[in-house]
Amino acid sequence: MMAVFALLAAVVFGAVAKDTNKERVLYGLKIFGEFIIIGLALAWLLYFIPF
Amino acid sequence: MSKDDNTELSRQTSSSRDWLIGVAGWFFPGAGHLIQGNWWRALLMGGTVWIAFVAGIMMGGRLFRYSGTEEGMSSLLQIPPMIANLGAGLLYPASWLIGVGFTDDPQLAARATFEYGTTFLLIAGLLNYLCMLDAFDISAGRKP
């Protein structure tokens, strides 16, 4: 679900930003990767918090 | 005023058509780009909003509304997510009319996907605000 969320957000973020298609694709991939990495990092961080 | 300044000014002044495209883009996700003949962009961005909204509903997500019946400040807390939900345009009143997404059903709330569904519904609206602004900017000549 988190990956689907990241994909949907990355598609729109990538489409509205930048000027060329190549830049848009790269930006979308960057956003997708950032969502996934930050999501996993937060999940692990919260896993160790006992409340 | 130089010729360049005039060109810049005309580019920054938006016409009623630009506003119409913006409103259409908000009301029916993807319509803003579709009116401009930008099929791929309409399919990509409008499709994303539709997928997020339908997925949110299918996951049992909840749409927010201001009812004024909650105690204290709780009613006011419904307003920011309601604004996010309203971004989905036509999909919000359509869901209300067919009675989907607004019910406070404990069985729906107990589903494992309830929170995800609610989040998907929120981002569907917020992403559509971005799509609407994008369609407006393209129509006004502010974006290629």
Identify the CA nearest to B64 among candidates B83, B46, B48: B83
Q: pTM for the full model? A: 0.84
Chain B residues close to A16, C-beta within 8 Å:
45, 130-131, 133-134
Task: Tell whether B42 is within 8 A of chain A (Cβ).
Answer: no
H helical segments located in chain B: 3-12, 16-27, 31-35, 39-41, 47-58, 74-77, 79-86, 91-98, 106-109, 114-139
ipTM: 0.82
Sort out which chain A residues have CB atoms less than 8 A from B55's CB and list them. Answer: 4
Once rounded to an integer, what is the mean pLDDT over residues A15-44? 91
pLDDT tens-place string over residues B27-73: 999 999 999 988 998 999 999 999 999 999 999 888 988 877 777 77
Of A1, A15, A19, the CB nearest to B45: A15
| pLDDT of res. B5 | 53
Q: How many CB pairs under 8 A join A and B?
A: 35
Task: Encode pLDDT of B90-143 as tens digits.
Answer: 999 999 999 888 887 787 778 888 889 999 999 999 999 999 999 999 988 887
Average pLDDT for A30-43: 93
